[in-house]
Structure 1
Amino acid sequence: MTPAPEKKLAPAVASKPKPFMAFVMDEVTRSQLERAAEDAGFAGDVYVGDTDAALATLAEVVPARHLVLDLADRTDLVAAVNAFAEVCQPDTRVLVLGAVNDVAVYRALLDLGVSDYLVKPVAGPQLTAALVRLGAEAQPDTGDKAVSAAGRGTVTGVLSARGGAGASTVAVNLAWALSVEAPGKCALVDLDLRFGTAAMMLDLEPGRGFKEALDNPGRIDSLFMERAMVRATDNLSLLAGEEDVAAEPAVAEGALDVLFDRLAGAFDHVVADLPRWRLGDHVKHLDRLFLVTEPTLAGLRDALRLKDAAQALAGADLPVLIVLNKGGAAKKGELTEADAVKGGLPKPAYVLPDEIKVQSQAQATGKPMVQIAPRAKASRVIVEMARDLAVDDGDAVPAKSLFGLILGGRTKEAGP
């Protein structure tokens, strides 16, 4: 097994440096690249390791938009770049370093979308100039992702009225369905850093640094997003943690403001699995809230209380949509939808039937219910939720077959 590459941090520059990631073969190139990056206005991580280690690292993180790849250990550079294309975003700007001095290879790499190719050894001024060009290429890209209210992603919160009502299940499946049904990228955020289960449901290891970033919001920048978020599929990334259950993670003042601002700026859709603690700090960042409750008397009581509290904290115009979950799970003592409405609960926007067998299968495989059983009744309701959200957000939702949930949301490991 190839060992993980050694990480070296390039020095930051003062005037809003552009984030980048670099993977180089040796310490000489690392030192040279760090100096060139600083001169060109970049800051980020420089890793020392071979091409296999670089591919393994990029498969586990969300890559920076600017990427430097040292492929001096490969003779077939076209094949190597194609391998990296499988783990990078389509808009990634790439500078390649290599040992092959062949104009045909240079032209082939440019045809693949590589921004530039330099043959090693590279002089410092030449490397700096290439990095300046790399950063300049990305500047005109202000059309679809303009930094304005209209161009920002929307944030949907999912909250359980009571423990075990199923908010995490709804959040994970909704995020997965959104990543397939709606255009653009989706982020799933599990804000319960001690007992959250989103990562477990997707069979992923949480990224590192979430707790520290909430305690020090100055760390919440684009580099943090690249390192801490874990990719579930091409269009779905997860931000979660798994911290000591004995101590509640500290959240500095303003940290959640910065976090949600960054997420909404980087993703088209953000689904946040919310714990009930710090409700006021969470709901003020939402465009809508799904309140998940079981059809029980206690669930009805707490759903009413939380709806009133959320709208008191965030404003009466916050849309609070009731999701009645696990319908039919209890044969006796269960309230019907009509009973819930008579009790004062708004008419549920969605009713999810109990799917105990499918849920058990999902937990055993570490895959969302909507992926493994798209024909299940609950899966169909969640897909309806995702499509309704996409329409509300102004996205044109293409018609998809049920197989789209499996094929469109395939993970990298699944292959073509």
Structure 2
Amino acid sequence: MAPPEQSRVPILAFVTDDESEAALRGGFVDVGAGFQARRGDAHTAARTLEKEGTPAILLVDISGIEDPFAALDALASVCTPDVRVLVVGESSNLTLYRRLTRDLGIAEYLYKPLTRENVAIFFGPHVTGAAQQGGGERGGSVITVSGARGGCGATTIAVNLALQLAEVSRGHVALLDLHLRTGTAGIMLGVRSGTGLRVALEEPDRVDSLFLDRSSIPVADRVRLVASEEPMEAAPRPTENGVKNLLAMLTARFNFVVVDTHSPPGVAERIALATAQNRVVVTGPDVAGIRDTLAIRKFAASLGGGNVLTVLNRENLPGGLKTKLVSDGLGAAPDVIIPDLPRHLPRAAHFGRPAIEESAVFRKALTPLTHRIAAVKPAEAGTSLLSRLLGRAGG
């Protein structure tokens, strides 16, 4: 299990020279925020933040980098969406400034030589919060995983999809289990679910900015679980505002939010499906599963936007329908097919170990779904990866 997240560094800077560091330290003296400086550029920052937590404000140097836009795109993929990025460089070109601040969503750009006064004037407001936030949609991508019927393996898909997304993208992933009384995501990961999820869904006014740190559980590198184990006699009543607020908090902190839903959809599931950029429907090789898959896909399509992806789980299950019959029933071949693995997957779940670590066959079968989702980000056409991940599309 990954260690708990450390407190976020307020300001972390990567600069290539002593003079710039001195100007930054002088300019940030009066803002009262913790400041850390390291020697390096945007490439150094990307390598570092693959292993460390994202600071609240990140300042990077693009001096001497042949393709700064590619470097910043690479950096964006390893940062949480709520980071605010400041950039310094050698060029005073106005076109570069406009591309960085308007197209890529960078908060501010200054060219060298830096002075204490310029740092305080132009970077200071972004550190103190006085600068106006960008106007684009904020946050990461929401992916719902819905089982056509109970027992079809949707939670197994959701749990391992979240883990594999973090591996493939090096982004930060949240796994949200909406099964408040009977959820098994925590069991599959060998952890006990935390508390607070029900409160967040029912009473959003009681949830503050520290909720995620207190209520989410680190389960792997860059993956945190948000789940609850409510007693069977409990009657959770998620509110529309509570669900929307929770998803907004999660997408501000994570590049991907994988939501394990149940059917038929309630208030929480309906909002999650409406928000999602990718809606994964998992079915087994049976007639009832085909019927319910078609119903869920129809409902998801009525919400507009987003992709609907069908996963056939447990292919070649003894007594199950052949794949061709499943495809005929669905009207098209499933997007992803995962074979029946009666020995490896139950054993992994019993011992609280991820199935992708126990079964190479399962890992390989899940990879096409992971790759497809990792390549799709919530963005309008023409915006860059950096702008999409930082949530400030073309301000």
TM-score tier (shorter): 0.5 to 0.7
Query: 1:341 corresponds to which letter in structure 2?
Result: S
- Matched with 2:341 is 355
Distance 2:329 2:346 in 1: 32
Query: 1:285 corresponds to which letter in structure 2?
Result: T
Query: 2:227 corresponds to which letter in structure 1?
Result: A
- Matched with 1:325 is 313
Distance 1:138 1:91 in 2: 14
Whether 1:206 aligns to 2:193 is yes
Which of 288, 302, 307 does residue 292 from structure 2 map onto? 302
Query: 1:89 corresponds to which letter in structure 2?
Result: G
Query: 2:317 corresponds to which letter in structure 1?
Result: A
- Matched with 1:365 is 351
SS in 2 for 1:163: coil
TM superposition shift of 1:205: 1.6
TM superposition shift of 1:138: 7.9
Q: Describe how 1:39-118 pairs up with structure 2 within 5 A.
A: 59-60=3-4, 62-65=5-8, 89-91=53-55
Which of 267, 291, 294 does residue 281 from structure 2 map onto? 291
Q: Deviations over 1:186-222 (max 9, x none)?
A: 1111011101111111111212211112111123332
TM superposition shift of 1:147: 7.2
Whether 1:193 aligns to 2:157 is no
Structure 2 gaps, min length 5: 11-48, 58-123, 378-383, 387-395
* C-alpha contact 1:287 1:319 (8 A) present in aligned 2: yes
Which of 325, 328, 339 does residue 339 from structure 1 map onto? 325
SS in 2 for 1:222: coil
* C-alpha contact 1:202 1:368 (8 A) present in aligned 2: yes
- Matched with 2:127 is 139
**Which structure exhibits the higher relative contact order, with contacts defined as CA atoms closer than 8 Å and separated by 6 or more residues?**
2
TM superposition shift of 1:311: 1.9
CA distance 1:158–1:210, shift in 2 (3 Å) = same
TM superposition shift of 1:322: 0.6
Distance 2:55 2:9 in 1: 9
CA distance 1:335–1:182, shift in 2 (3 Å) = same
Which of 245, 255, 263 does residue 268 from structure 1 map onto? 255
Normalization by structure 1: what TM-score? 0.59
Distance 2:126 2:162 in 1: 28
CA distance 1:188–1:341, shift in 2 (3 Å) = same
Distance 1:140 1:354 in 2: 55
- Matched with 2:365 is 381
Query: 2:372 corresponds to which letter in structure 1?
Result: D
TM superposition shift of 1:395: 6.5
TM superposition shift of 1:140: 8.7
Q: Describe how 1:152-191 pairs up with structure 2 within 5 A.
A: 152-191=139-178
Distance 2:135 2:140 in 1: 10
Distance 2:230 2:367 in 1: 32
Q: Deviations over 1:316-350 (max 9, x none)?
A: x33211100011122x3x22232123224432100
Distance 1:269 1:186 in 2: 5
Normalization by structure 2: what TM-score? 0.62
* C-alpha contact 2:197 2:227 (8 A) present in aligned 1: yes
Distance 1:241 1:207 in 2: 6
Structure 1 gaps, min length 5: 1-57, 68-84, 94-135, 397-416
Distance 1:358 1:146 in 2: 48
SS in 1 for 2:187: helix
- Matched with 1:25 is none
Q: Describe how 1:245-260 pairs up with structure 2 within 5 A.
A: 245-260=232-247
* C-alpha contact 2:316 2:322 (8 A) present in aligned 1: no
CA distance 1:172–1:344, shift in 2 (3 Å) = closer
- Matched with 1:148 is 136
* C-alpha contact 1:190 1:274 (8 A) present in aligned 2: yes
SS in 2 for 1:205: coil
CA distance 1:137–1:174, shift in 2 (3 Å) = farther
SS in 1 for 2:232: coil
CA distance 1:268–1:303, shift in 2 (3 Å) = same
* C-alpha contact 2:348 2:355 (8 A) present in aligned 1: yes
Distance 2:52 2:195 in 1: 20
* C-alpha contact 1:327 1:353 (8 A) present in aligned 2: yes
TM superposition shift of 1:306: 1.3
Query: 2:301 corresponds to which letter in structure 1?
Result: Q
Distance 1:372 1:140 in 2: 47
Give runs of ≥4 in structure 1 deviating > 4 Å: none
TM superposition shift of 1:282: 2.7
SS in 2 for 1:290: strand
Q: What value does the CA root-mean-square deviation take over the aligned residues?
A: 3.0
* C-alpha contact 1:230 1:238 (8 A) present in aligned 2: yes
Identity of paired residues, percent?
A: 29
